[in-house]
Structure 1
Amino acid sequence: MSITALNLSHITYTYPGAPEPIFEDVTVTFAPGWTAVLGDNGIGKSTLMHIAQGKLTPERGQVSPSDAVIAFCPQDVAAVPDNLDDFSADWSPETIAIRDTLGIADDWPYRYDTLSGGERKRLQIACALAAHPDVLILDEPTNHVDAPTRNAIAQAMLDFTGQRHALATTAMPTANGQHHEESNGKETATLPAPRRGRVGIVVSHDIELIDQVAMRCACFERRHVGHSNITVVTMRPGNYTAALADATAQQAGERHALDQASKEAARLQRESASRRHDAALAATSWRANRTIDRKDHDARNAAKLAKMTSVDGSAGSAQARLDARVEAARQAADSITVAAKRYDGDLAAFAGIEPSHATELVRLDAGVIPFGASAVQVPAQSGDPVAGAGGESSNTAEVGKSGKPIDIAQSAGTTGAASDIPVTAHAWHTPDGVRIPVLSVGPNDHIGIIGPNGAGKTTILNALLARLDTQPFDVPRLVIAQNTTSDDAHAAFGQLAQLTPTDRGDVLSAMAQLNADPDRIIAASSEPSPGELRKLLLCLGVTRHPHLIIMDEPTNHLDLHSRQALARALAAYRGAVIVVSHDMPFLREAVTQLWQVHA
């Protein structure tokens, strides 16, 4: 069937145990085509999507139509799609087209546990599309994926709503490592109207994706009204760029209106206070000088003013009317809603951590790391160069095994060119595993590991972690995995509870600098959002004064402001950093060298 819209009317929801609703009396309509749902971590975006699909029941409000077929693709790549078996047996032309667009290999449904995060995400989305729903909800669909895969996902999304249009092309990796031509998403032309009565909703912090597919943006915003903050959902036309411009203009107008209303209220307040002061002086003079010379006009006028403004005088209504104007002006100023104050800042505590005095923190010998293993098991040829340890290796020439130059941005699967960051090591995906040179991490190295999905980035990371566990000396370290679980949340809140009041205050203060609301997170401790949990894990890690920080896809689930704050914090950190990421703007600020894994 086709629907005219998905309507959520007057929705109110409170997390169990929370002191106040996460949102109250929210109404939003999702029309055919793609709507991007935007907002900070923990503001309630995923919660509203769970209400839309019937997984959560609101305290008040309703969702219509009640018989719409809704498919949902979650953030967590560990979640196996419910219809995976059906998808594996579906070879209809429509499903084959989905497989081709997303580069799904025939055997992927049968080995879900062995797939990389990006490959799992593509398969999750393929299964959701194959259900042919009326409403498709994608929650952070481009987490874990490289740039060509992001573009393929965007094309599949536009296919769903019948809006796919010709864009410039780039090489899209298929399941076997080859490439076919897909959009690079740089076209900014207006999307055509949806040809199908299908509603698409994407919850995302990926600006490039939103600019590529969205017709409108449902913006979750904290608004300051009077003396409190509330959450509202504002529908803005256009993609992220257009919605941001609209929000910026609105906020400027609101600030101007609030400034003018506050000035008027203050003016009237000053006038009222001045009149009362003058009346009090006049009344004192009147009582002290009962007899006034008829020719003393100033004294007579003061006496009249005292009588007029006296609260017990018949003419006191003039002062009362002025007081009413003061109160009306004050209420007018309080009624103007403006964007709530943000607390974006820098994690200054990171800059104060002393680095290790060791010359080398961890080292992997040259060889091949078998997939699924955590140690180098096949020796490489002697003389392989050393990478890391604060210097460039001799294999930095950007030449592939065929002797042809390597296109770094394409091979790395990153957004934006990588040529402005030196590549100090090249590793290669082989049938036996990942072939690496000697990899060494010095006490101040800031290293980014890049490469397309499935090339072996996490394999290298796991080998480094295994070596850290077995080497004879300990390296204090903070490790945040690509995927977090409810067990991670319980452990994090347990650790927070055991901290001293001073350390706990430092952690909560650091979270506030990432624009998190510590009180709200603690109140919803059983189910923090993935982005909020990452912030908590990061800020808890500061208390251990690590010499090495290792993060796998650290910008997954983080809102834009938090990504920027994290990049600045890592740049200021004087210890060693190893980051796996496809986010080149983030890497440019956080790291100083790259290890590149080639498919």
Structure 2
Amino acid sequence: MIILKDIVLRRGAKVLLDGASCVINPGEKVGLVGRNGAGKSSLFRLLDGQLHEDRGDFQVPAQWRMAQVAQDMPETGESATRFVVEGDTRLTAAQQAVAEAEASGDGERMAHAYMLQQDAGAHDASARAQSLILGLGFRLDELERPVNSFSGGWRMRLQLARALMCPSDLLLLDEPTNHLDLDALVWLEAWLKRYEGTLLVISHDREFLDAVTTVTLHIERAQLTRYGGNYSRFEEMRAEQMAQQQAAFTRQQEKMAHLQRFIDRFKAKATKAKQAQSRVKALERMEKIAPVLADAEFSFEFAEPANLPNPMLALREVDFGYPGATEALPPVTIVRRVTRSVQAGQRIGILGANGQGKSTVVKTIARALAPLAGVITEGKGLNIGYFAQQELDVLRPDEHPLQHMIRLAKDCAAQGRLSGQDTREQDLRNFLGGFNFTGDQVMQAVGSMSGGEKARLVLCMLVWQRPNLLLLDEPTNHLDLATREALSVALNEFEGTVMLVSHDRALLRAVCDEFWLVSRGGIEPFDGDLDDYQRYLLDVARQAREMQRQENREASGSSADAGGVPSGTPDNAPRGAEQRRLEAQRRQQMADKLRPMKKELAQVEQRMAALGTEKESLEAALSGTLTPDDIAQAGRRLKAVSDELEACEMRWLELSEAIEQAAQG
């Protein structure tokens, strides 16, 4: 187990932990939470040995293997698959042992090295690595692409895959979801649930923490407090604890005031001096309960839009994509022939697997890209507020927040987009203050700010423009939990239209009341909620893994037919016809195992379809004109159908997960 006892940890002059203690048991999945700057990442640096405690005792079992995501940007020209395979430190060491044994010519040493390599999983290392890569959102045709050909965010996904590839007893993940889309996030949750080691994760995604963690470790005022349960349970217990502490503090203050009144009244009277003195001692001995000093919550709101055109915009036969890089190259169309309208007051969540074109659609509506075909008709007075994924990159690092606001005001005035906003310097300072930019922070260079502070500045600039259509593409990537909550509240009170792309399911659930699915080159309404969408994503991921396994089997069979033996494989390894026979036997065993589950799954799906049809018919009948008796009968039947449909859906999910796990095994 991990033991921290009376730990003091400093970074410069700042004390991050002061007499902090906690115990983390083997196999626990721990969410590390606290305000930005509280010391979460520094605690990770203590665990991995980059920092040392200033005082106290700190123990991690010496035999534990540790894995974490490297923060450097890899520049290697190796293939994505090779790069991730090399994250398996046990396999790398075994391969090195094989190379040294072969160089020595010692037969016994070579045999021992080959066995170590087989035990380390050399036979399926590439398949395991590719499963991780595909799960994190890469395409099949990207598995052999050079690492340095990917953008920064995709390289960080490869670093995450490399960390997951490494055999470990302790896994440290610091904001692992920042570069992930929702499909990759759902896959990562499922992977971490199966992880058998001890997990410590820092995240500002509450649904991710709820899904993965079973213990919450809270850093506050240089102390560590352990709570049993996920993040939602932590919030409940902490609220109860704070309420109890406040009640105890209030009672103690009343008791102390009563004692002090007695002392003040009778300390000068000889007949009461003894009693007064005893109360003085009681007051001195009393262990003082601290008042509840809750951190000030951050909040903001969107001003009422100057007008609300309806529809906001209309799309007619629109193609979305990118123009050719040169005149000789044709444009790249990603989403085709979209005809839809966006109404005033709509709350639209835009869903879709990675690479399907969600950001491209939003960029085109935001006028950052031109449509490749078709017509986008904007309502009169449309005022778009656009938060792009790379929005933080357009901030000027050498300028301070006030300079950004002054330049924004000038740009809006030049474009005739001022809607009654105050543009005096003091008014802009006051507006920044509403986003927690006060005092010297107003004049602090943006380049020295944290990612969360930069995101808050972008939000401030967005709100100031008084938009009536908000286009938000992953707005929460750098926001802490408090700011995410504030954004959720502000969006719910916003009177205009919201179109949101996000992997933060808590935000999507709280804000959106309908969803568009970008898939297979088109856009369609998604008839379901986020739980339905997660099942859809898991199904897509499973199909991709099955396709990859099939390709690996075919490649393995071709290699065996050619008589090829992988380098470093012992001579007695199965190959050729024997290997194909064993593979066929395994496939038959798997088919026999899955057949009854697949049969029941088909029956459940058939029953769900029948119940869904009956439910729609009953709902249509209830909306018409029926006699009271017929209404009562239809209502009872609708309740029975709904209950059975819910039970079928749960069974469908259980069977689907069982089939997937069996296939993976």
The equivalent residue for 1:596 is: 517
Q: SS at 2:306's partner residue? A: coil
CA distance in 2, matches of 1:478, 1:99: 39
Matching residue within 1, 26, 50 for 1:32: 26
Judge conservation of contact 2:401–2:446 (CA < 8 Å) in 1: no
CA distance in 2, matches of 1:22, 1:521: 25
Matching residue within 100, 123, 129 for 2:158: 123
CA distance in 2, matches of 1:597, 1:218: 38
> Any residues of structure 2 matched to 1:415-494 within 5 Å, and which?
432-438=333-339, 445-467=346-368, 477-482=384-389, 488=395, 490=397, 493-494=400-401
Aligned residue pairs, count: 451
Judge conservation of contact 1:98–1:156 (CA < 8 Å) in 2: no
What CA deviation, in whole Å up to 9, does each residue of 1:297-354 have, x standing for no partner? xxxxxxxx3x567xxxxxx66545434434444xx33xx3465324336423x1x243
Relative distance call for 1:465 and 1:484 in structure 2 (3 A) is: closer
Judge conservation of contact 1:468–1:474 (CA < 8 Å) in 2: no
What CA RMSD, in Å, does the superposition of the two structures yield over aligned residues? 4.7
Judge conservation of contact 1:42–1:532 (CA < 8 Å) in 2: no
- Segment of structure 1 superposing worse, 208-217 or 80-89: 80-89
Q: SS at 2:241's partner residue? A: helix
CA distance in 1, matches of 2:450, 2:24: 23
The equivalent residue for 1:586 is: 507
Judge conservation of contact 2:400–2:445 (CA < 8 Å) in 1: no
Q: 2:263 matched to 1:272?
A: yes
CA distance in 2, matches of 1:590, 1:126: 31
- Segment of structure 1 superposing worse, 337-346 or 252-261: 337-346
Shift of 1:265: 0.9
The structure carrying a bigger strand percent of its residues is: 1
CA distance in 1, matches of 2:254, 2:232: 33
Shift of 1:203: 1.1
Q: Quick one: which amino acid aligns to residue 321 of structure 2?
A: P
Shift of 1:597: 0.6
The equivalent residue for 1:344 is: 297
Relative distance call for 1:158 and 1:475 in structure 2 (3 A) is: same
Relative distance call for 1:120 and 1:373 in structure 2 (3 A) is: farther
Matching residue within 173, 176, 184 for 1:138: 173
CA distance in 1, matches of 2:459, 2:465: 11
Matching residue within 302, 315, 319 for 1:368: 319
Q: 2:44 matched to 1:49?
A: yes
CA distance in 2, matches of 1:250, 1:124: 39
The equivalent residue for 1:87 is: 83
Shift of 1:437: 0.9
The equivalent residue for 1:103 is: 134
What CA deviation, in whole Å up to 9, does each residue of 1:16-43 have, x standing for no partner? 6xx8445444444444322211234443
Relative distance call for 1:260 and 1:210 in structure 2 (3 A) is: same
Judge conservation of contact 1:115–1:454 (CA < 8 Å) in 2: no
CA distance in 2, matches of 1:367, 1:22: 54
Q: SS at 2:455's partner residue? A: helix
Q: SS at 1:110's partner residue? A: coil
The equivalent residue for 1:217 is: 216
CA distance in 1, matches of 2:493, 2:2: 48
Shift of 1:571: 2.5
Matching residue within 146, 152, 162 for 2:187: 152
Judge conservation of contact 2:311–2:341 (CA < 8 Å) in 1: yes
Judge conservation of contact 2:348–2:499 (CA < 8 Å) in 1: yes
Shift of 1:536: 3.3
CA distance in 1, matches of 2:387, 2:85: 37
Q: Quick one: which amino acid aligns to residue 39 of structure 1?
A: G
TM-score normalised by L of structure 2: 0.56
Judge conservation of contact 1:550–1:577 (CA < 8 Å) in 2: yes
Judge conservation of contact 2:399–2:446 (CA < 8 Å) in 1: no
- Structure 2 residue ranges without an equivalent (≥5): 87-121, 407-424, 521-665
The equivalent residue for 1:295 is: none
Relative distance call for 1:484 and 1:95 in structure 2 (3 A) is: farther
Q: Quick one: which amino acid aligns to residue 269 of structure 1?
A: Q
Q: Quick one: which amino acid aligns to residue 273 of structure 1?
A: D
Q: Quick one: which amino acid aligns to residue 69 of structure 2?
A: C
The equivalent residue for 1:403 is: none
The equivalent residue for 2:604 is: none
Relative distance call for 1:319 and 1:530 in structure 2 (3 A) is: same
The equivalent residue for 2:428 is: 503
What CA deviation, in whole Å up to 9, does each residue of 1:119-150 have, x standing for no partner? 76653321112233453211233345455543
The equivalent residue for 2:69 is: 73
TM-score normalised by L of structure 1: 0.61
Relative distance call for 1:595 and 1:342 in structure 2 (3 A) is: same
Relative distance call for 1:469 and 1:100 in structure 2 (3 A) is: closer
Judge conservation of contact 1:102–1:149 (CA < 8 Å) in 2: no
Q: Percent identity?
A: 25
CA distance in 1, matches of 2:132, 2:354: 16
Q: SS at 1:482's partner residue? A: coil
- Structure 1 residue ranges without an equivalent (≥5): 162-197, 222-229, 280-304, 310-315, 380-430
Q: SS at 1:537's partner residue? A: helix
The equivalent residue for 2:107 is: none
Shift of 1:112: 5.7
Judge conservation of contact 1:482–1:554 (CA < 8 Å) in 2: yes
CA distance in 2, matches of 1:153, 1:132: 16
Q: 2:390 matched to 1:355?
A: no
**More relative contact order in 1 or in 2 (CA 8 Å, sep 6+)?**
1
Matching residue within 240, 246, 263 for 2:254: 263
CA distance in 1, matches of 2:398, 2:366: 20
